[in-house]
Structure 1
Amino acid sequence: ATACAFLAVWVLTSQAAVPAELPRSTPEQQGIDSAAVADFVEALDTEIEDVHGLMVLRHGHVVAEGWWAPYQPEFIHTLFSLSKSFASTGIGLAIAEGHLSVHDQVISFFPDAVPEEPTWQLEAMRVRDLLSMSTGHIGEDLRAFSFDSDSPLPEAFLNLPVAHKPGTHFNYNTPASYMLSAIVQKVTGENLLDYLRPRLLDPLGIEEATWSTDSQGIALGGFGLSITTESIARFGQLYLQQGQWEGEQLLSAEWVEQATSRQTSNGSNPDSPWDQGYGYQFWRNRHGAYRASGLGGQLALVMPEQNAVVATTSGTSQVADIFDLVWDRLAPGMQDEPLDDNPAEVERLRERLSNLSISMPAGDPAADGYQDWLGRSWQFGQNDLDINALALRSQGEEIIVVITTLTGAHEIAIGNGAWVPGRTGLIPGAIGALLGDDQGHGHRMAAAGAWTGADEFTFRLAYTETPRVATIRLQFSETGLALDIDQTGGLAPRVAPLTGTPVSE
């Protein structure tokens, strides 16, 4: 990884931090060996595909932070299911204000949406069953629930079959997380995001936050929240501090204890990070830790025994490997007392953090003759990607690819061994709904590529406010163009390559 990225800078003075800014420190001042942190970062960079952002906190101080180009610290990032832990926090705050309790029946909040003859299982379902993923639903029945419906979703949820007695079976249930959001809105009269702003987000200094909603304006709860990597770290630090922030008790310590304790069993493998128990929209982890966790490696790993938090944003399928690196590389370097200064290792860590990038295609130095394909265009028949045509040209050091879809022509400037930022309305593959509404401005993106052969051009298109990175390979011949799109981390279905025919000049 050699491209330029955000440079981590440590504040080495003893002055008080600016309000709402996390204090920075060298690792040694917080009892961590910089060599262990550097080894951890190096392992993330070389062994885990597409980590986008990292922040490590010890004793409330940031000891390492880095972003892999083209991702930047100020970019919000889609959290997927890490959103669930924020929805749970909303419930905790509403309980503290007397709006409800975990023992309330779910149907009591939506009397107009209850079936005429509710089953005893539905009547027995409590708020705590939503929180602990133990509603009694089975996966086959949950698949009938659609977030895209224009009809009220609470009614759809309450009409799902409930196979088991609530509280007896763990089954991962994103519609249940949605219901937590719907309940907060029902009892407070505010959308979940609006409710959280003055009570949680503003005090934590989380200024940039968006949350997708359903057709009724209810935040989706189980996914759809976007915030920065540092905001994830702040959220984890709040829980590590038992709900306290800058001398104020934002969240009751009792709620933190309940939410992060094992409320239901979800497996028996002592070595699996997925089998350590589940709390109230938080996963238990090995070594006494717990986490807020989302698809692709959106993580707030809270480590009470080490008084540490590790926050990541990513687009990877290697989440379990990230945990292993924390326990095998990072945690052993944590000591109880400050360590002697180690300027050489601090510099090595700083250097590592200042040169991070997600992978870019490597050019073939022997590739020649690719100029023959510049200035040409190809057309495609009907396909699942809705791509109608593609054109290719050069502009200075950049390659310009123009992809025409049902929504128009989308021009992408691609750097040669460097990331070129921009915005695009192009949505490759079945990922549109998960990118969210671009408000007509186009999605923030960056592209880098190379001629990987005389007749092949490969580029990566990173949607830099999401975990999604598409690798697009163009293979040229006189008879046609093969276009292949691969999206990392299993975050979108793989689509068969398309074949285009040349457009006559």
Structure 2
Amino acid sequence: MNLSLLAADLPSLQLRSCLINRRGEPLLQYYQKPAAETEIARINSCTKSILSALICIAMDQGLLPPPETAVSRFYPQLAADKDTRKAQLTLSHLLTMSAGFNWTEFGGQNSFPKMTRSPNWVEFVLGQPLAHPPGQVMEYNSGVSQLLSAILMQAVERPVTAFAEQYLFGPLGITAYSWESDPQGIATGGFGMSLRPADLLKFGQLYLQQGKWGDRQLITPERVIRSVQPAIDADPPRRGGYAWHWWTDVFPDPDSSSTESAPILEYYYARGYGEQFVYVLPAQETVVVLTKDQKQKQQPPLDVFRDCVAPALLDRYSSKIN
């Protein structure tokens, strides 16, 4: 499939938007209806990757200590916990969701709904027992994202939204957004943000440009590179790896029947419930944004990127069309 065929198929895929840029220029722009271009919409867990960017900015500015720093620096009760493994928790463990908490986001324990119904989300997360030693197992956990947001707020001594407006949203020209908060007024770290698709594209482009926007270096290249390197295998049935609140993967599968000389797309991406995505493909200098109206259901859901977009991009780039 090439991009022209992909464009023709987009209405049947029930996407709210599909934006593809290469080298900062549009290859494809699709909106299901005009309002989708101008209205903000929930990006759900893509919020995690934006929080990661803010963590990186704070580290670059010396407001947050290095990722190897113990979380007990911010929450001393962890050092006094009867489970001595909690004292070993680091910012890196939170960023890679390898803290080891006994946590099932949905289903089973329903840890996420229980957190959001609790009077203090941070205390709820800190009080959860550990199921694994820190750093050994990735367990998807929006609770650790809330801890990171709370830690960031402590470190920058202002609301996370104010920090974002000054050092990320402002420089990117993002003026239309909303961001929920917990009962203590801490910005939700794992979800709760609403943005326009074009602003998600700017965010992906910032990472493609290794943290540079215009003549400003918003995030150091070294920090960008480290934050998107896979640190641990994703928890099954999810595929690929996990970095600092970014997912990583390749297309096609390394063990597929394709020949060894066939080109491969390596990418990292932000992912939100209801099929909200930002993909960054460094070697191809490409950013892809896919969003969907969460009221629309498709059973089983189609992996639009891997089934439709990635083959079209691979076809384009392997044919050396620029």
The 3-state SS of whatever aligns with 1:139 is coil
Contact 2:79 2:86 in 1 (8 A): no
1:362-416 Cα distance to aligned partner (Å, 9 max, x none): xxxxxxxxxxxxxxxxxxxxxxxxxxxxxxxxxxxxxxxxxxxxxxxxxxxxxxx
Aligned with residue 64 of structure 1, among 19, 22, 28: 28
Match of 1:83 in 2: 47
Aligned with residue 70 of structure 2, among 105, 114, 128: 105
Aligned with residue 7 of structure 2, among 41, 49, 54: 41
Match of 1:181 in 2: 149
Instruction: Label 1:150 to 1:170 Cα distance change in 2 as closer, same or farther (>3 A).
Output: closer
Offset of 1:183 from its aligned partner? 0.6
In structure 1, what is the Cα distance between the partners aligned to 2:283 and 2:128? 41
Contact 1:53 1:66 in 2 (8 A): yes
Bigger helix share: 2
The 5 A counterparts of 1:201-212 are: 201-212=169-180
Offset of 1:238 from its aligned partner? 0.5
Amino acid across the alignment from 1:153: W
> Which structure has the greater CA radius of gyration?
1
The 3-state SS of whatever aligns with 1:194 is helix
TM-score, L = length of structure 1 = 0.56
In structure 2, what is the Cα distance between the partners aligned to 1:324 and 1:190? 43
The 3-state SS of whatever aligns with 1:80 is coil
1:218-277 Cα distance to aligned partner (Å, 9 max, x none): 011100011100011110011011111112111111111111111111269xxx9x3211
Aligned with residue 192 of structure 1, among 160, 174, 177: 160
Offset of 1:302 from its aligned partner? 0.6
The 3-state SS of whatever aligns with 1:121 is helix
1:60-89 Cα distance to aligned partner (Å, 9 max, x none): 112221210264211111001100001111
In structure 2, what is the Cα distance between the partners aligned to 1:127 and 1:236? 23
Match of 1:334 in 2: 317
**Structure 2: segments with no counterpart, 5+ residues:** 251-264
Aligned length: 298
Instruction: Label 1:235 to 1:140 Cα distance change in 2 as closer, same or farther (>3 A).
Output: closer
The 5 A counterparts of 1:386-397 are: none
TM-score, L = length of structure 2 = 0.86
2:224 is aligned with 1:241: no
Contact 2:103 2:111 in 1 (8 A): no
**Structure 1: segments with no counterpart, 5+ residues:** 1-34, 340-505
The 3-state SS of whatever aligns with 1:66 is strand
Offset of 1:150 from its aligned partner? 5.5
In structure 2, what is the Cα distance between the partners aligned to 1:203 and 1:162? 40
1:292-332 Cα distance to aligned partner (Å, 9 max, x none): 11111111111112111111111366352332211212331
In structure 1, what is the Cα distance between the partners aligned to 2:99 and 2:283? 32
Contact 1:115 1:158 in 2 (8 A): no
2:132 is aligned with 1:164: yes
The 3-state SS of whatever aligns with 2:59 is helix
Amino acid across the alignment from 1:188: V
The 3-state SS of whatever aligns with 1:288 is strand
Offset of 1:42 from its aligned partner? 2.4
Match of 1:232 in 2: 200
The 3-state SS of whatever aligns with 2:123 is helix
Offset of 1:335 from its aligned partner? 6.4
Aligned with residue 98 of structure 2, among 113, 126, 134: 134
Match of 2:260 in 1: none
In structure 2, what is the Cα distance between the partners aligned to 1:179 and 1:190? 16
The 3-state SS of whatever aligns with 2:50 is helix
In structure 2, what is the Cα distance between the partners aligned to 1:338 and 1:211? 40
In structure 2, what is the Cα distance between the partners aligned to 1:93 and 1:279? 16
The 3-state SS of whatever aligns with 1:285 is strand
Contact 1:51 1:312 in 2 (8 A): yes
Bigger strand share: 1
Amino acid across the alignment from 2:122: P
Aligned with residue 321 of structure 1, among 264, 286, 304: 304
In structure 2, what is the Cα distance between the partners aligned to 1:117 and 1:299? 38
The 3-state SS of whatever aligns with 1:73 is helix
Whose RCO is larger (CA < 8 A, sep 6+)? 2
In structure 1, what is the Cα distance between the partners aligned to 2:208 and 2:135? 27
Aligned with residue 16 of structure 2, among 46, 49, 52: 52
1:124-157 Cα distance to aligned partner (Å, 9 max, x none): 1111011001011233496345343463322211
1:27-48 Cα distance to aligned partner (Å, 9 max, x none): xxxxxxxx922211223322x2
In structure 2, what is the Cα distance between the partners aligned to 1:64 and 1:144? 39
Offset of 1:336 from its aligned partner? 8.6
In structure 2, what is the Cα distance between the partners aligned to 1:164 and 1:320? 31
The 3-state SS of whatever aligns with 1:148 is helix
In structure 2, what is the Cα distance between the partners aligned to 1:118 and 1:42? 60
Offset of 1:52 from its aligned partner? 0.3
Contact 1:201 1:207 in 2 (8 A): yes
In structure 2, what is the Cα distance between the partners aligned to 1:190 and 1:210? 17
Match of 2:110 in 1: 143
In structure 1, what is the Cα distance between the partners aligned to 2:47 and 2:183? 19
Aligned with residue 227 of structure 2, among 259, 274, 281: 259
Amino acid across the alignment from 1:303: L
The 3-state SS of whatever aligns with 2:116 is coil
Match of 2:276 in 1: 298
Segments of 4+ moved more than 4 angstroms = 113-116, 335-339
CA RMSD of aligned residues (A): 2.3
